[in-house]
Amino acid sequence: MTCDQAAHAIEDLSQILHSLSQQLAHGRSTIRITRRLPALRRFDIACSSCGSGNRAGARFCQRCGALLNAAPGYGAGHVQSRTLTFTVAARTDTGRVRHQNQDSVYTGVIPLPDGQQAYLCLVADGMGGAAAGEYASRLAADVSRAYLEQESTSHPPATDAAWQALLRDAVRAANRQIYDAARTDAARRGMGTTLTMALLVGDRLHIASVGDSRVYLLNTNGVTDDGAPSAQLTSDHSLVARLVDIGQLTPEQARVHPQRNILYRSIGTDPSVDVDTRSEALEPGDIVLLCSDGLVNHVSDEEIARIALGETDPDCAVMRLVSLANERGGRDNISVVMVRVSGER
Ligand code: CA
Kindly give the confidence (pLDDT) of every residue in the chain, 345 residues in length, as a single tens digit, with 9 standing for 90 and above.
Answer: 567 766 766 676 776 676 667 666 666 655 544 333 333 333 455 555 555 555 555 666 565 666 655 332 222 222 333 579 999 999 999 999 999 999 999 999 999 987 889 999 999 999 987 789 999 999 999 999 999 999 998 888 999 999 999 999 999 999 999 999 999 988 899 899 999 999 999 999 999 999 999 999 998 765 454 545 558 899 999 999 998 888 888 888 888 888 888 899 999 999 999 999 999 999 999 999 999 999 999 999 889 999 999 999 999 999 999 999 999 999 999 999 999 999 876
Contact yes or no for 49/38 (Cβ under 8 A) = no
Bridge partner residues of 335 (DSSP):
92
Report how far ligand 1's centroid is from the alpha carbon of 294 (Å): 5
Report how far ligand 1's centroid is from the alpha carbon of 69 (Å): 31
Report how far ligand 1's centroid is from the alpha carbon of 158 (Å): 34
For domain 81-342, the CATH class is: alpha beta
Report how far ligand 1's centroid is from the alpha carbon of 317 (Å): 20
Report how far ligand 1's centroid is from the alpha carbon of 333 (Å): 6
Instruction: Please give the model's pTM, rounded to 2 decimal places.
Output: 0.77
Cα gap 328→161, rounded to integer Å:
40
**What are the angstrom distances between the C-alpha of 240 and each of 3, 182, 248, 260?**
24, 26, 9, 6
Domain limits, the chain? 81-342
DSSP helix, strand, coil percent of the chain (3-state; round to 5): 35, 25, 45
**What are the angstrom distances between the C-alpha of 160 and each of 81, 195, 223?**
13, 20, 22
Report how far ligand 1's centroid is from the alpha carbon of 231 (Å): 21
Secondary structure tally for the chain: helices H, strands E: 8, 12
Residues with CB under 5 A from ligand 1 (ion): 125, 292-293, 332
